[in-house]
Amino acid sequence: MLKQSLSQKLSQKLSPQQIQLMKLIQLPLQDLEQRIKEELESNPALEEENDAYDEMDPHANDGESDGEERIETDDIDIDQYLSDDEIPDYRLRSNNYSADDEQYEVPVITTSSFYDSLQEQLGWKKLDEESLQLGKYLIGNLDEDGYLRRELEAITDDLAFSVGIMTTKEKLESLLKVIQTLDPAGVGARNLQECLSLQLQRRTPTDIIQLAQTIIDEHFNEFTRKHYEKITSRLNISEDQLKEALEQIGKLNPRPGNSIESGRTISQAITPDFIISISDGELELTLNARNAPELNVSNEYKDMLNAYKAQGKKKDKRVNEAAQFVKQKLDAAKWFIDAIQQRQQTLLITMSSIMNYQKDYFLSGDEKDLRPMILKDIAEEINMDISTVSRVANSKYVLTPYGTFLIKEFFSESMTNQDGEEVSTREIKKILEESIAEEDKRKPLTDEKLAKILKEKGYPIARRTIAKYREQLDIPVARLRKEL
């Protein structure tokens, strides 16, 4: 049975402008510049500061200061001229540098990729056309580390069904041997053991190199598990001889593919959004000038809108359409400038709160001075939503006297020490790192012993928590930290 009823419900929806503003806040500096550039290209009513004065206006600077001639967004109230029936086309993409910023040309560097280099070397080998084609196919199956992870039988099937070339596993095996003679040494290996062995085979065969070769070829499991006592016993060698052999193995490259710069890799320099400096014992926060581009509403477009206003009721359909277009562009330009300014303000307020919250750390640079801090702490202090703080923290960098850091790195959970004080997990990780750095590498500390040491220092932490922090710090277990 169907029935109708009335009910009231309160809901909150984000406007398109609010969504675009949140996206602007989240953008890192280099992406912001690209968005501004695209907005300048798509909206003729938006201009950079340097473009605000045109040579067509001979009186632009006659007896008037820049401040008087510059068009501020507050000068335009579009709604007093035209109706607000249409929604402007907001496309918030953009780029610009501050007028006093130095600009550098990035040099163009061309490099041949890892795969191109191998195929070029293969071309110098005396191979028939079919073998050359098969060799290139094998090279294409190498991963970025230079390893052939696939089984030769699987590659043989692929060649038969996908390329239509019939071959055998033995043929591919012989071609793989050829590839393994190419540079860098170790390329074409099917596992780490083969990779290290191939590299040792190219070394001058001294007694130590031959010992290292024997360890890799015949005692690899003991080597990886650092069971050094078993190796010295089985090979009847001294500890010093083993140590020399391990030093040679340590010079090998477990990822030969990375020794040739890949043309597919694009590296990008980090540009900090904020700069924190210390002056007379006080912290000073500045926003990177490139976060605050000088944008203005076009003088020409304002004059056009005034001209349409002057026509009054005489406007025909074509004039109305043109006026609506101008209105949209002016409206979009004004909103975009306001959004950029609001972004700047949000960034400064948020980072200022973080800086003051972690004042002791920014003055000393000692991670032990980092206070426990979560997104909610900052959000409550600046009266903003947690998601806004998260957008600022996740993609922005700050330059400090101690280096450049991602802002989210300053956030950490808290725990209570034996004195009942709340301490940051970053502080505990720092102490854990120091304890491991000071350990006897011949007898590394187990997680249980590390937990006992931290408890003695006033941090009662369970062994499983030690293991979690150690993994987050990318520190291996005690057995793998063992050295001679």
Give tens-digit pLDDT for 13-38. 556 667 777 788 888 777 888 888 88
146: alpha, beta or left? (left if phi > 0; alpha if psi -120 to 50): left
Q: How far apart are CA 79 and CA 77, in angstroms?
A: 6
pLDDT tens-digit readout, 245-289: 998 998 899 888 876 544 444 445 678 889 999 988 899 998 887
Contacts of 68 (CB under 8 A, 6+ apart): none
Q: How many CA atoms lie within 13 A of 283 on its CB side?
A: 22
- Determine the 3-state secondary structure of 316 from DSSP: coil
pLDDT at position 215 is 92
Contact 454, 470 (CB under 8 A): no
Contact 141, 176 (CB under 8 A): no
pLDDT at position 95 is 44
Q: What are phi and psi of 253, to 5 degrees?
A: -105, 110
The token duo for 396 is 């922005």
Q: How far apart are CA 427 and CA 366, in angstroms?
A: 9
Contact 371, 358 (CB under 8 A): yes
Q: How far is CA 439 from CA 20, 434, 457, in A?
A: 52, 9, 16
Strands (E), 420-461: 422-424
Angle, in degrees to the nearest 10, between helices 228-235 and 207-218: 120
Q: Does pTM surpass 0.75?
A: no
Give residue 313's pLDDT band: very low, low, confident or very high (50, 70, 90).
Answer: low
Question: How many other C-beta atoms lie within 10 A of the C-beta of residue 127?
Answer: 16
- Determine the 3-state secondary structure of 123 from DSSP: helix
| Cis, peptide link before residue 184, omega less than 30° from 0 | yes
Q: How far apart are CA 18 and CA 4, in angstroms?
A: 35
In this structure, which amino acid lies at residue 254? P
Q: How far apart are CA 464 and CA 89, in angstroms?
A: 54
Q: What are phi and psi of 422, to 5 degrees?
A: -80, 130
Q: How far apart are CA 319 and CA 305, in angstroms?
A: 11
- Mean pLDDT for the stretch of residues 277-305: 82
The token duo for 130 is 């079919």
Q: How far apart are CA 413 and CA 424, in angstroms?
A: 6
In this structure, which amino acid lies at residue 127? L
Q: How far apart are CA 163 and CA 148, in angstroms?
A: 19
pLDDT tens-digit readout, 216-248: 999 999 888 888 889 999 999 998 899 899 989
Among candidates 291, 348, 333, which has minimal Cα distance to 98?
291
Q: What are phi and psi of 416, to 5 degrees?
A: -100, 130
pLDDT tens-digit readout, 43-99: 888 887 654 434 334 443 443 434 333 334 344 343 443 333 443 443 333 444 444
Q: How far apart are CA 333 and CA 198, in angstroms?
A: 63
- Determine the 3-state secondary structure of 287 from DSSP: strand
Query: Across all residues in the chain, what is the average pLDDT?
Result: 77
Q: How far apart are CA 45 and CA 329, in angstroms?
A: 6
Report the Cα 206 to chain-centroid distance in Å.
44
Angle, in degrees to the nearest 10, between helices 386-395 and 16-26: 40
- Mean pLDDT for the stretch of residues 383-387: 88
End-to-end CA distance of the chain: 83
